[in-house]
Amino acid sequence: MLEHTDPSQVQLTKDGELKHFITTEHLSREMLTEILDTADSFVDLGAKQVKKVPLLRGKTVVNLFFEASTRTLSTFELAAKRLSADVLNLNISTSSTSKGETLKDTLMTLHAMHSDMFVVRHSSSGAAHFIAEHVTPDVAVINAGDGRHAHPTQAMLDMLTIRQAKGAFAPLSVAIVGDILHSRVARSQIHALRTLGVEDIRVIAPNTLLPRHIESLGVKVYTDMQQGIKDVDVVMMLRLQKERMNSALLPSESEFYKLYGLTMDKLALAKPDAVVMHPGPINRGVEIASSVADCDRSLILDQVTNGIAVRMAVMSMAMSGQTKSRSDLNGTEV
């Protein structure tokens, strides 16, 4: 993991506004609620004839992906374009970093292009923090996923989807099922759920896919899915992160599906109005049955729609925070 300072010192301006978005941890309930409220104002934009607002007009957003992800990259690109920004997608696998250029050299080159925002996805935990600490003060950094550490925009689009379906967070019981060990999404979800007031958060997985001391995050741990899913309001399935597994942590995918795959029979143990979520991409017949993924209680497509709105919200808020911070440094009025 890359070294970084306390994220609370990096993410916010001195006035408490969003400057970077690195993690859901350490952010207040008020800040997370502001992100959700701002995203709500963008949800219906995609249905309008003109799908753009001018909030980032004249700004340059660089999608700096050191790790491939078609879904996340495409939603960030679309979000930036709907905010009227100019967008550069940097393919790191073919860039100078593969020829020995350091991350700092890459950042200096991008600074010389007068970029305004970096959306960063990296396989190393802490990479987004590192970049946020080394960019010039007028550049905003958004974490699009770093190692096993965090995926904050995914967590927030999940929170928006839950709020739309269920309203208040406090009375809910939420189960997160699957590969908790390798999931940066699960960590960001847990921090966001706790901050927003959910007290009954359950993680369900085989022992081999549970991080050590996961209970310290304030969750209840289950290795039996039938027990863990009983009477919950929300079931959040996770993808098996096979690319991050260094050893045989599972006997087989079919065995995992038998014990932990979400079927209609298992879903029947949850509350009658329980909803189903999955960050995607879905492995049908591994984590979730097609009958569940396509049923009327599935919010998976709503999550995709909300992903664009949440990323628009975070990008516009971070850019606004940067602008006000620069004005304060220059001693001018906003």
266 in a known ligand binding site = no
187 in a known ligand binding site = no
151 in a known ligand binding site = yes
Q: What is the 3-state secondary structure (H, E, C) of the chain?
A: CCCCCCHHHHHECCCCCECCECCCCCCCHHHHHHHHHHHHCCHHHHHCCCCCCCCCCCCEEEEEECCCCHHHHHHHHHHHHHCCCEEEEEEHHHCHHHHCCCHHHHHHHHHHCCCCEEEEEECCCCHHHHHHHHCCCCCEEEEEEECCCECHHHHHHHHHHHHHHHCCCCCCEEEEECCCCCCHHHHHHHHHHHHCCCCEEEEECCHHHCCCCHHHHCCEEECCHHHHHCCCCEEEECCCCHHHCCCCCCCCHHHHHHHHCECHHHHCCCCCCCEEECCCCCCECCCECHHHHCCCCECHHHHHHHHHHHHHHHHHHHHHHHHHHHHHHHCCCC
197 in a known ligand binding site = no
184 in a known ligand binding site = yes
57 in a known ligand binding site = no
281 in a known ligand binding site = yes
72 in a known ligand binding site = yes
List the binding residues for carbamoyl phosphate.
71-72, 121, 151, 154, 280-281
List the binding residues.
71-72, 99, 121, 151, 154, 184, 239, 280-281
List the binding residues for L-aspartate.
99, 184, 239
